[in-house]
Amino acid sequence: MITVFGSINLDLVVSLPRLPAPGETIVGPDHQSFAGGKGANQALAAARAGARVRMIGAVGEDAHAGPALANLEAAGVDLSRVRHLEGTTGLAMIGVAPDGENLIMCASGVNARVAADWLEGELSPETFLVLQRELRAEPIREAVARAREACAFVLLNAAPSGDADLADLVDSVGVVVANEIEAAELGIARGAAPGSSADAFCAALSGPERLSVVTLGPRGVIARLGQNGWRVAAPRIEVVDTTGAGDAFVGALSAALDRGEGVPRALCEGTAAGALACTATGAQTSSPDAGAISALADTLTCERTTAS
Protein backbone atom coordinates (compact mmCIF):
# COMPACT_ATOMS: atom_id res chain seq x y z
CA MET A 1 0.00 0.00 0.00
CA ILE A 2 1.33 3.42 -0.96
CA THR A 3 0.63 6.38 1.31
CA VAL A 4 1.19 9.81 -0.21
CA PHE A 5 1.62 12.63 2.30
CA GLY A 6 1.56 15.79 0.23
CA SER A 7 -0.02 18.72 -1.53
CA ILE A 8 -3.32 18.94 -3.39
CA ASN A 9 -3.89 21.86 -5.78
CA LEU A 10 -6.13 23.13 -8.48
CA ASP A 11 -4.06 24.16 -11.52
CA LEU A 12 -5.03 27.10 -13.74
CA VAL A 13 -3.19 26.57 -17.01
CA VAL A 14 -2.61 29.11 -19.80
CA SER A 15 -0.94 28.15 -23.09
CA LEU A 16 1.44 30.97 -24.04
CA PRO A 17 3.44 31.81 -27.15
CA ARG A 18 6.48 31.82 -24.81
CA LEU A 19 7.14 31.93 -21.07
CA PRO A 20 7.36 35.45 -19.57
CA ALA A 21 10.59 36.97 -18.25
CA PRO A 22 10.43 38.74 -14.84
CA GLY A 23 8.29 41.87 -15.13
CA GLU A 24 6.82 40.84 -18.48
CA THR A 25 3.19 40.15 -19.42
CA ILE A 26 2.52 37.47 -22.04
CA VAL A 27 -1.02 36.92 -23.27
CA GLY A 28 -2.48 33.50 -24.09
CA PRO A 29 -5.85 32.70 -25.66
CA ASP A 30 -7.68 31.04 -22.76
CA HIS A 31 -7.22 29.12 -19.53
CA GLN A 32 -8.15 25.62 -18.43
CA SER A 33 -8.39 24.27 -14.89
CA PHE A 34 -7.06 20.86 -13.91
CA ALA A 35 -6.54 18.89 -10.72
CA GLY A 36 -2.92 19.14 -9.60
CA GLY A 37 -0.47 19.40 -6.71
CA LYS A 38 2.65 17.26 -6.58
CA GLY A 39 1.28 14.99 -3.87
CA ALA A 40 -2.06 14.45 -5.59
CA ASN A 41 -0.42 13.97 -9.00
CA GLN A 42 1.88 11.30 -7.59
CA ALA A 43 -0.99 9.55 -5.78
CA LEU A 44 -2.99 9.46 -9.01
CA ALA A 45 -0.02 8.25 -11.05
CA ALA A 46 0.64 5.41 -8.59
CA ALA A 47 -3.04 4.39 -8.59
CA ARG A 48 -3.25 4.47 -12.41
CA ALA A 49 -0.10 2.35 -12.45
CA GLY A 50 -1.97 -0.28 -10.44
CA ALA A 51 -1.05 0.43 -6.79
CA ARG A 52 -3.42 0.71 -3.84
CA VAL A 53 -3.01 4.31 -2.69
CA ARG A 54 -4.02 6.40 0.29
CA MET A 55 -3.72 10.20 0.16
CA ILE A 56 -3.08 12.26 3.28
CA GLY A 57 -3.39 16.01 2.81
CA ALA A 58 -5.88 18.85 2.82
CA VAL A 59 -8.25 20.82 0.65
CA GLY A 60 -10.16 23.97 1.55
CA GLU A 61 -13.87 24.42 2.00
CA ASP A 62 -14.16 26.17 -1.36
CA ALA A 63 -15.26 25.51 -4.94
CA HIS A 64 -11.79 24.23 -5.93
CA ALA A 65 -11.80 21.31 -3.49
CA GLY A 66 -14.14 19.02 -5.50
CA PRO A 67 -12.35 19.42 -8.86
CA ALA A 68 -8.96 19.03 -7.13
CA LEU A 69 -10.01 15.61 -5.77
CA ALA A 70 -12.14 14.34 -8.67
CA ASN A 71 -9.48 12.31 -10.51
CA LEU A 72 -8.20 10.74 -7.29
CA GLU A 73 -11.72 9.69 -6.40
CA ALA A 74 -12.33 8.24 -9.87
CA ALA A 75 -9.07 6.27 -9.67
CA GLY A 76 -10.08 4.71 -6.33
CA VAL A 77 -7.49 6.51 -4.18
CA ASP A 78 -8.46 6.33 -0.50
CA LEU A 79 -9.34 9.92 0.38
CA SER A 80 -10.68 9.22 3.87
CA ARG A 81 -7.61 10.94 5.42
CA VAL A 82 -7.89 14.09 3.29
CA ARG A 83 -9.09 16.86 5.58
CA HIS A 84 -11.43 19.62 4.47
CA LEU A 85 -10.23 22.74 6.29
CA GLU A 86 -11.63 26.22 6.47
CA GLY A 87 -9.56 28.20 3.96
CA THR A 88 -8.57 27.89 0.34
CA THR A 89 -7.47 24.83 -1.64
CA GLY A 90 -3.90 25.10 -2.95
CA LEU A 91 -3.77 26.89 -6.29
CA ALA A 92 -1.12 26.73 -9.02
CA MET A 93 -0.94 29.19 -11.89
CA ILE A 94 0.86 27.56 -14.80
CA GLY A 95 2.04 28.96 -18.11
CA VAL A 96 2.91 26.43 -20.81
CA ALA A 97 5.08 27.31 -23.84
CA PRO A 98 4.70 25.69 -27.30
CA ASP A 99 7.66 23.36 -26.58
CA GLY A 100 5.85 22.06 -23.48
CA GLU A 101 8.08 23.88 -20.95
CA ASN A 102 6.24 25.45 -18.05
CA LEU A 103 6.44 28.12 -15.38
CA ILE A 104 4.56 27.46 -12.14
CA MET A 105 3.52 29.82 -9.35
CA CYS A 106 1.88 28.18 -6.38
CA ALA A 107 -0.30 29.44 -3.50
CA SER A 108 -0.19 26.85 -0.69
CA GLY A 109 -3.60 27.57 0.83
CA VAL A 110 -4.46 24.83 3.33
CA ASN A 111 -1.49 22.70 2.17
CA ALA A 112 0.46 24.93 4.59
CA ARG A 113 -1.59 23.49 7.47
CA VAL A 114 -0.98 19.81 6.78
CA ALA A 115 0.55 18.33 9.95
CA ALA A 116 2.65 15.21 10.50
CA ASP A 117 0.47 13.99 13.37
CA TRP A 118 -2.14 13.18 10.69
CA LEU A 119 0.11 10.16 10.05
CA GLU A 120 -0.59 8.82 13.53
CA GLY A 121 -1.65 5.16 13.19
CA GLU A 122 -1.06 5.21 9.38
CA LEU A 123 2.54 3.94 9.26
CA SER A 124 3.79 0.36 9.56
CA PRO A 125 6.58 -1.76 8.03
CA GLU A 126 4.17 -2.44 5.12
CA THR A 127 3.83 1.27 4.29
CA PHE A 128 5.49 2.74 1.21
CA LEU A 129 5.43 6.44 2.11
CA VAL A 130 5.82 8.98 -0.71
CA LEU A 131 6.78 12.57 0.19
CA GLN A 132 7.59 15.69 -1.82
CA ARG A 133 8.74 19.16 -0.68
CA GLU A 134 5.54 21.06 -1.49
CA LEU A 135 4.38 21.03 2.14
CA ARG A 136 6.16 23.02 4.86
CA ALA A 137 9.58 21.66 5.86
CA GLU A 138 8.59 20.87 9.44
CA PRO A 139 5.84 18.28 8.72
CA ILE A 140 8.02 16.67 6.05
CA ARG A 141 10.88 16.32 8.52
CA GLU A 142 8.54 14.93 11.17
CA ALA A 143 6.90 12.55 8.68
CA VAL A 144 10.30 11.05 7.86
CA ALA A 145 11.07 10.66 11.58
CA ARG A 146 7.72 8.95 12.18
CA ALA A 147 8.24 6.68 9.20
CA ARG A 148 11.66 5.63 10.49
CA GLU A 149 10.19 4.85 13.88
CA ALA A 150 7.46 2.72 12.25
CA CYS A 151 10.02 1.00 9.93
CA ALA A 152 8.05 2.26 6.91
CA PHE A 153 9.80 2.58 3.53
CA VAL A 154 10.18 6.21 2.37
CA LEU A 155 10.56 7.69 -1.10
CA LEU A 156 11.40 11.40 -1.01
CA ASN A 157 10.83 13.39 -4.17
CA ALA A 158 13.00 16.52 -3.90
CA ALA A 159 10.52 18.66 -5.88
CA PRO A 160 10.12 21.56 -5.82
CA SER A 161 13.63 22.99 -5.51
CA GLY A 162 14.42 25.96 -3.29
CA ASP A 163 14.97 24.44 0.15
CA ALA A 164 18.38 22.83 0.58
CA ASP A 165 17.53 22.80 4.27
CA LEU A 166 16.04 19.31 3.91
CA ALA A 167 19.22 17.83 2.37
CA ASP A 168 20.04 15.85 5.54
CA LEU A 169 16.72 13.98 5.23
CA VAL A 170 18.16 12.08 2.30
CA ASP A 171 20.08 9.93 4.81
CA SER A 172 16.81 8.69 6.30
CA VAL A 173 14.99 7.55 3.15
CA GLY A 174 15.13 4.46 0.90
CA VAL A 175 14.73 6.29 -2.41
CA VAL A 176 15.36 9.90 -3.38
CA VAL A 177 14.16 11.24 -6.74
CA ALA A 178 15.34 14.64 -8.01
CA ASN A 179 15.54 16.49 -11.29
CA GLU A 180 18.87 18.05 -12.28
CA ILE A 181 18.25 21.34 -10.43
CA GLU A 182 17.08 19.61 -7.26
CA ALA A 183 19.92 17.07 -7.41
CA ALA A 184 22.47 19.90 -7.66
CA GLU A 185 20.84 21.78 -4.79
CA LEU A 186 20.82 18.74 -2.48
CA GLY A 187 24.15 17.38 -3.75
CA ILE A 188 25.97 20.67 -3.07
CA ALA A 189 24.40 20.85 0.40
CA ARG A 190 25.81 17.33 0.97
CA GLY A 191 29.34 18.29 -0.07
CA ALA A 192 29.42 17.81 -3.87
CA ALA A 193 31.28 20.50 -5.81
CA PRO A 194 29.09 23.13 -7.53
CA GLY A 195 29.07 22.52 -11.27
CA SER A 196 29.49 18.74 -10.87
CA SER A 197 27.91 16.39 -13.41
CA ALA A 198 24.44 14.90 -12.89
CA ASP A 199 26.22 11.56 -12.30
CA ALA A 200 28.27 13.10 -9.49
CA PHE A 201 25.19 14.65 -7.88
CA CYS A 202 23.37 11.32 -8.23
CA ALA A 203 26.29 9.63 -6.46
CA ALA A 204 26.22 12.27 -3.71
CA LEU A 205 22.58 11.40 -2.99
CA SER A 206 22.95 7.61 -3.06
CA GLY A 207 24.10 5.21 -0.37
CA PRO A 208 24.70 1.49 0.11
CA GLU A 209 20.99 1.03 0.82
CA ARG A 210 19.59 4.17 -0.76
CA LEU A 211 18.56 4.42 -4.40
CA SER A 212 19.08 7.88 -5.86
CA VAL A 213 17.40 8.74 -9.14
CA VAL A 214 18.02 11.89 -11.19
CA THR A 215 15.54 12.64 -13.96
CA LEU A 216 17.07 14.36 -17.00
CA GLY A 217 13.94 15.32 -18.98
CA PRO A 218 14.33 14.34 -22.65
CA ARG A 219 17.66 12.61 -21.82
CA GLY A 220 15.97 10.04 -19.58
CA VAL A 221 17.09 9.08 -16.06
CA ILE A 222 20.17 7.94 -14.19
CA ALA A 223 20.19 6.07 -10.90
CA ARG A 224 22.62 4.79 -8.33
CA LEU A 225 22.46 2.34 -5.44
CA GLY A 226 25.80 1.80 -3.75
CA GLN A 227 28.23 0.72 -6.50
CA ASN A 228 25.40 -0.08 -8.94
CA GLY A 229 24.47 2.47 -11.59
CA TRP A 230 21.78 2.53 -14.29
CA ARG A 231 20.71 4.73 -17.17
CA VAL A 232 17.45 4.69 -19.15
CA ALA A 233 17.15 6.80 -22.32
CA ALA A 234 13.79 8.54 -22.71
CA PRO A 235 11.54 7.41 -25.58
CA ARG A 236 10.80 9.87 -28.37
CA ILE A 237 7.42 11.48 -27.86
CA GLU A 238 5.44 14.49 -29.08
CA VAL A 239 5.72 16.89 -26.12
CA VAL A 240 2.60 18.98 -25.42
CA ASP A 241 3.01 19.86 -21.74
CA THR A 242 5.73 18.70 -19.35
CA THR A 243 3.69 19.66 -16.24
CA GLY A 244 3.42 16.65 -13.95
CA ALA A 245 5.91 14.49 -15.89
CA GLY A 246 8.11 14.20 -12.82
CA ASP A 247 5.08 13.31 -10.71
CA ALA A 248 4.03 10.59 -13.17
CA PHE A 249 7.58 9.23 -12.99
CA VAL A 250 7.52 9.17 -9.16
CA GLY A 251 4.05 7.57 -9.03
CA ALA A 252 4.88 4.81 -11.51
CA LEU A 253 8.32 4.17 -9.98
CA SER A 254 6.72 3.88 -6.52
CA ALA A 255 4.02 1.52 -7.80
CA ALA A 256 6.62 -0.72 -9.45
CA LEU A 257 8.92 -0.82 -6.41
CA ASP A 258 5.96 -1.38 -4.07
CA ARG A 259 4.90 -4.48 -6.03
CA GLY A 260 8.44 -5.83 -5.87
CA GLU A 261 9.89 -5.01 -9.29
CA GLY A 262 13.68 -4.69 -9.46
CA VAL A 263 15.30 -1.30 -9.97
CA PRO A 264 15.83 -1.65 -13.78
CA ARG A 265 12.17 -2.45 -14.52
CA ALA A 266 10.95 0.19 -12.05
CA LEU A 267 13.14 2.81 -13.76
CA CYS A 268 11.77 1.80 -17.18
CA GLU A 269 8.17 2.03 -15.95
CA GLY A 270 8.82 5.42 -14.34
CA THR A 271 10.47 6.69 -17.52
CA ALA A 272 7.58 5.42 -19.65
CA ALA A 273 5.00 7.07 -17.39
CA GLY A 274 6.92 10.38 -17.34
CA ALA A 275 7.12 10.42 -21.13
CA LEU A 276 3.45 9.56 -21.65
CA ALA A 277 2.46 12.28 -19.17
CA CYS A 278 3.93 14.91 -21.52
CA THR A 279 1.53 14.08 -24.35
CA ALA A 280 -1.46 16.19 -23.20
CA THR A 281 -2.12 19.42 -21.33
CA GLY A 282 -2.60 19.13 -17.57
CA ALA A 283 -0.63 17.36 -14.86
CA GLN A 284 -3.14 14.55 -14.30
CA THR A 285 -5.03 14.32 -17.62
CA SER A 286 -2.29 12.33 -19.32
CA SER A 287 -1.19 10.24 -16.33
CA PRO A 288 -1.05 6.80 -18.02
CA ASP A 289 -2.58 3.50 -16.90
CA ALA A 290 -0.70 0.28 -16.16
CA GLY A 291 -1.21 -1.14 -19.67
CA ALA A 292 0.22 1.91 -21.43
CA ILE A 293 3.13 2.14 -18.99
CA SER A 294 3.98 -1.53 -19.39
CA ALA A 295 3.76 -1.46 -23.21
CA LEU A 296 6.14 1.52 -23.47
CA ALA A 297 8.45 0.24 -20.69
CA ASP A 298 8.87 -3.02 -22.64
CA THR A 299 10.52 -1.01 -25.44
CA LEU A 300 13.06 0.70 -23.13
CA THR A 301 16.48 -0.53 -22.13
CA CYS A 302 17.99 -0.04 -18.70
CA GLU A 303 21.74 0.04 -19.15
CA ARG A 304 24.20 -0.74 -16.31
CA THR A 305 26.65 2.11 -15.85
CA THR A 306 28.90 0.83 -13.07
CA ALA A 307 30.13 -2.61 -12.06
CA SER A 308 28.71 -4.06 -8.90
Catalytic residues: 247
Contact flag: residue 280 with ligand RIB (CB under 6 A) = no
By CB under 6 A, tell whether 283 contacts ligand RIB. yes
- Looking at beta carbons only, is 9 or 206 nearer to ligand RIB? 9
CB neighbours (10 Å) of residue 27? 8
Candidates 72, 92, 97, 250: give the one binding ligand RIB (CB under 6 A): 92
Please report whether residue 104 would count as binding ligand RIB according to CB under 6 A.
yes
Q: Is the peptide bond before 160 cis (omega within 30 degrees of 0)?
A: yes
DSSP assignment of 51-87? --EEEEEEEESSTTHHHHHHHHHHTT-B-TTEEEESS
d(CA 55, CA 81): 7
Which range in 30-38, 53-61, 146-154, 253-261 contacts ligand RIB by CB under 6 A? 30-38
Which x/- pattern, by CB under 6 A, does the window 239-268 give for ligand RIB?
----xx-xx---------------------
Residue 184 CB, shortest distance to ligand RIB, in Å, is 18
Q: State how far the alpha carbon of 136 is from the alpha carbons of 22, 86, 232, 256, in Å.
A: 26, 18, 32, 28
Interface with ligand RIB (CB under 6 A), residue total 16
Contacts of 176 (CB under 8 A, 6+ apart): 155, 156, 157, 158, 170, 186, 205, 210, 211, 212, 213
Letters for 175-214 (x = contact with ligand RIB by CB under 6 A, - = none) are ----------------------------------------
Residues making contact with ligand RIB (CB under 6 A) = 7, 9, 11, 36-38, 41, 92, 104, 106, 134, 243-244, 246-247, 283
